[in-house]
Amino acid sequence: FCNVRPDHVIEGLDVPTIYEVPLLMHEQNAGELINDRLNIEKKPSLKELRKFIHNFKNPSHEVTIAMCGKYTELIDSYKSVMEAFIHAGVENNVRVNVKWIQTEKIKNDITAQKAFQDVDGILLLPGFGSRGSEGKIHSSKYARENKIPFLGICLGLQCAVIDFARNVCGMKGANSTEFDKNTNFPVIDLMESQRAIKIKGGTMRLGAYDCEIKTGTKTYAAYRKKKISERHRHRYEVNNRYRKKLEKNGLVFSGVNEDLGVIEAIEISDHPWFVSGQFHPELKSRVNKAHPLFREFIKAGVKNKI
């Protein structure tokens, strides 16, 4: 009927998790059929995948992570982050539960306390624009002051820097020029390479860039190497004019692109685990190798819960 041999028809059944699909296909001899067709002699092994699925289904602990962003009504906006949580959860033998936080609803310390009172970690999600930005800054402040494990991604890093500038360095009204072009303390500003661009489409700092990691930091402890490469998508960056003042007050610049002078990662040394990256670590997380920052973030969440 469809010019496919009956023994080459593979049934696609529903399974509890997408990670079980290869096992289902393997049971129907799909691997052998593909090997035969392509003249591949090596037999497929799903040992590591079976181990992953077993650990995923049988965690020893649970943690609850607050996912703070402005697109929380459409959770597939953060699909890569959710998958990175699965990978990191398996490596830490925990189930990662997510509490979605719409940052527009975080107005002050009181609403932050109500939102985060039952979480083991706070993740500040990437995004663009001013909507919900003050809520993200309040979220960073709450995590910092209450010693809750914190991971900021892209805009999440920028909001963490704004919080630190305002509430630790005393720079009242510090902001990003993306949110307030007239701020007296533009601790986050448009990248130099972006200033002459008039037509914005497809002109952001995109793709993989190198980053030098500072030894003795939590970021270095996660990666265990001095040089990394991560993927990016942004126009704004930490303003180097304020770098010395931020450092003097305790903000650690743990990752830098020395060639471009771009701050890539920050952390707070006297906090159990407060790390942020200007890049998108979720895009490099894999089933067989959780991203180092997600792995350590979830590990910190487990310690915080215990």
pLDDT (tens digit, 0 to 9) for every residue of the chain, 306 residues total? 688 888 888 998 899 999 999 999 999 999 889 998 899 988 878 999 999 999 999 999 999 999 999 999 888 999 999 999 999 999 999 999 999 999 999 999 999 999 999 999 999 999 988 898 999 999 999 999 999 999 999 999 999 999 999 999 999 999 999 999 999 999 999 876 655 555 555 567 889 999 999 999 999 999 999 999 999 999 999 999 999 999 999 999 999 999 989 999 999 999 999 999 999 999 999 999 999 999 999 999 999 987
Among 68, 154, 169, 211, the one annotated catalytic: 154
Of residues 87, 232, 271, 280, which has the active-site annotation?
A: 280
Contact, 303 vs 183, CB < 8 A?
no
The gap from C-alpha 31 to its chain's centroid, in whole angstroms, comes to 34
How many beta carbons lie within 10 A of that of residue 226, not counting itself? Answer: 11
Residue 172's φ and ψ, nearest 5 degrees, are -60, 130
Token reading at 101: 């936080």
Tell me if 164 sits within 8 A of 246, measured CB to CB: yes
**pLDDT at 92 (0 to 100):** 98
Determine whether 138 is an active site residue.
no
Architecture of domain 61-204+238-250+271-305: 3-Layer(aba) Sandwich (3.40)
Task: Tell me, yes or no, if 154 is annotated catalytic.
Answer: yes
Active-site residue, from 91, 178, 282, 296: 282
pTM exceeds 0.75 for this model:
yes
Domain range list for the chain: 6-51, 61-204+238-250+271-305
Q: Which two tokens mark 247?
A: 């450092």
pLDDT at 201: 55
pLDDT for residue 305: 87
Q: Is 291 a catalytic residue?
A: no
> Whose CA is closest to 193, among 153, 157, 228, 234?
234
Under 8 Å between Cβ of 137 and 163: yes
